[in-house]
Amino acid sequence: MRDGIPEHGRIPRYYAVKVQVLDLIAELGEGAALPTERELCDRFDVSRATVRQAVSELVLEGRLRRRQGSGTFVAGPKLVQPLALVSYTEGLRQQGIEPGRTLITLEHRPADPGLAAELRIEPGDPVVHIERVLRADAERVGLESTYLAAARFPTLLEVFDPAGSLYACLRDQLGVVFAGAEERVETVLATPREALLIGTNPALPMLLMHRVSWGPDGVPFERVRSLFRGDRLSFTTRLTPTS
Amino acid sequence: MRDGIPEHGRIPRYYAVKVQVLDLIAELGEGAALPTERELCDRFDVSRATVRQAVSELVLEGRLRRRQGSGTFVAGPKLVQPLALVSYTEGLRQQGIEPGRTLITLEHRPADPGLAAELRIEPGDPVVHIERVLRADAERVGLESTYLAAARFPTLLEVFDPAGSLYACLRDQLGVVFAGAEERVETVLATPREALLIGTNPALPMLLMHRVSWGPDGVPFERVRSLFRGDRLSFTTRLTPTS
């Protein structure tokens, strides 16, 4: 608790409750139901508004989960997605979790100037845009948009199964070799559309990953924008002196 | 704007305003003052509450910045911190920004069981804890806590300058070789104390990086917890097939 206390010594009441709820979470263990709001008010002798603020921060941080109509429960640990040249599929399978995808958009669209520069094509050239909701077991955890130069992958839409791994398809069916990628990670808020598709509260901080990947020729072949629930996922990376 | 619209077609009013303010931001350019709330209400013909929600999301996302007493301004791009075996200092200097640090805590404390396991020492063994506010040019952007096994670095406190780079000190004065590290990145909310030290709003999503680094012997020598303002910083990494 000490680590959360401002130097001037005044502890916000909701934060004191939050620390006590964290202790309760540790006691209860994953999957257990949290006592009701009313019970927490009685237990900590605070108002409903105070309990609500403490609980909703813990929900935003992924320590608690709300299930519609059935209450609030102790959440499991966050999923870990490696920042490495592995696909979403491989990353989750390494943790014993079954990945799933729901196709939202599959279209050809003209590249805007920014995308064209990144893929080294001309503005207006057609790109394939694949947008999918990402699931971990049954749960929706993210939304991914991939953009590929259409001229480079003319047979993609004939061989690609939107429910399967795009990377496996590129590698195994189209002979693509992943030679490198650049990734950028930041935290953002979801747009209303994204929140609806992923099934989250728009106030929930999300992790956004931008990736540009290239082949042995050094020419970028895809741009990816992956948005993940910040309460359900973290990224890991292993560093070596040459990386 | 289309990308933000829910499939069911209803656009939240604040979101429509947010998209228009984004266009305005692009027109105005970095550093320019945003029109007042009242002017924005008139321009978009919406209530003050609606303008406020749009503007405060753009502030949380780092597109706008509030300056106490002087208004709201168009923010510059986020700083980029490489996820690589470089220090905060090197990462910023590569972008032409002068890093700074303010010492908050410098203490010996006994290792709790989790920290002891990570550093492969016994619970209760002394660790050096260095906590510093991180600055980029004059601005506070993060808070970093480093824990090192005291027995391994008996002369650290004699040679370490709390205003300088810890990594440079470890490498150049104590002969430490960085052979590898594991990092985990997630998004969290700041505690009240952290928000106060960094000078942020506690609702601001933060990027939290955990790092454990080891030497050529494979034994971890430090654990680091770095908390960065999510509106001011992003992480990048370059991937290769072997990483």
A73-105 tens-digit pLDDT: 999 999 988 887 777 888 888 888 999 999 999
pLDDT of B123 strictly over 50: yes
Same domain, A33 and A95: no
Same domain, B91 and B46: no
Put simply, whether B95 touches A (Cβ < 8 Å) is no
Q: What is the domain-level CATH number for residue B175? A: 3.40.1410.10
Radius of gyration for chain B, computed over Cα atoms and rounded to the nearest angstrom: 22
pLDDT of A8 strictly over 70: no
**Any domain includes A63:** yes
| pLDDT on residue A125 | 96
pLDDT of B182 strictly over 80: yes
Q: Mean per-residue pLDDT for A205-211?
A: 93
**Any domain includes A197:** yes
Contact residues, B window 72-91, toward A, CB-based 8 Å cutoff:
78, 80, 83-85
Q: Mean per-residue pLDDT for A182-193?
A: 91
> What's the rounded Cα separation, in Å, for the pair B53 and A178?
42
Predicted confidence band of residue A58 (pLDDT cuts 50, 70, 90): very high
Q: For residue A103, what are the β-bridge partners?
A: A132
pLDDT of B5 strictly over 70: no
| DSSP 8-class letter at A69 | T
| pLDDT on residue B48 | 95
Last residue of a domain, one of A74, A99, A116: A74
Neighbours of B207 (CB within 10 A): 26
Same domain, A126 and A210: yes
Last residue of a domain, one of B74, B96, B119: B74
**Any domain includes B17:** yes
Contacting residues for A156 by C-beta, under 8 A, at least 6 apart: A128, A148, A150, A169, A174
| pLDDT on residue B8 | 61
For residue A79, the chain B residue with the least C-alpha distance is B186
Domain count, chain B: 2
pLDDT of A243 strictly over 60: no
Identify which of A105, A144, A159, A94 has the alpha carbon closest to the alpha carbon of residue A128. Answer: A105
Rounded percentage of chain A residues whose pLDDT exceeds 70: 95
**Any domain includes A241:** no
Last residue of a domain, one of A21, A39, A74: A74
Q: Mean per-residue pLDDT for B6-19?
A: 80
**Any domain includes B241:** no
Q: What is the domain-level CATH number for residue A46? A: 1.10.10.10
| pLDDT on residue A39 | 95
> What's the rounded Cα separation, in Å, for the pair B155 and B209?
27
Q: Mean per-residue pLDDT for A199-210?
A: 89
Same domain, B14 and B87: no
pLDDT of A3 strictly over 70: no
pLDDT of B126 strictly over 90: yes
Same domain, B190 and B83: yes
Predicted confidence band of residue B243 (pLDDT cuts 50, 70, 90): very low
Instruction: Render pLDDT for B50-94 as a digit per residue (tens, 0 to 9).
Output: 999 999 999 988 999 998 888 999 999 999 888 877 778 888 888
pLDDT of B101 strictly over 80: yes
| pLDDT on residue A70 | 86
Domain span at residue A162?
79-236
Q: Mean per-residue pLDDT for B191-198?
A: 91
| pLDDT on residue B39 | 95
**Any domain includes B33:** yes
Put simply, whether A185 touches B (Cβ < 8 Å) is yes
Same domain, B118 and B201: yes
| pLDDT on residue A91 | 82
Same domain, B44 and B109: no
> What's the rounded Cα separation, in Å, for the pair A164 and B64?
39
Residue ranges in chain B assigned as alpha helix (H): 13-28, 37-44, 48-60, 88-93, 113-119, 156-159, 166-172, 192-198
A187 to each of B60, B207, B242, how far by Cα in Å?
10, 7, 27
Same domain, B136 and B62: no
pLDDT of A228 strictly over 80: yes
Same domain, B147 and B160: yes
Same domain, B68 and B84: no
| pLDDT on residue B201 | 82
Q: Mean pLDDT over all residues of chain B?
A: 90
Same domain, A152 and A174: yes
Residue A31 burial class via C-beta count within 10 angstroms: exposed 0-12, middle 13-18, buried 19 and up: exposed
Same domain, B46 and B101: no
**Any domain includes B242:** no
Q: Mean pLDDT over all residues of chain A?
A: 90
A205:B185 CB<8 A: no
**Any domain includes A35:** yes
User: How close is the nearest chain A Cα to the Cα of B92, in Å?
Assistant: 16
Task: Tell me which of A94-108, A214-228, B3-17, B54-68 is least confident.
Answer: B3-17
pLDDT greater at residue A7 or residue B138: B138
> What's the rounded Cα separation, in Å, for the pair A18 and A5?
12
A to B CB pairs, distance under 8 Å: 152
| pLDDT on residue A69 | 83
Radius of gyration for chain A, computed over Cα atoms and rounded to the nearest angstrom: 22
Put simply, whether A191 touches B (Cβ < 8 Å) is yes
User: How close is the nearest chain B Cα to the Cα of A187, in Å?
Assistant: 6
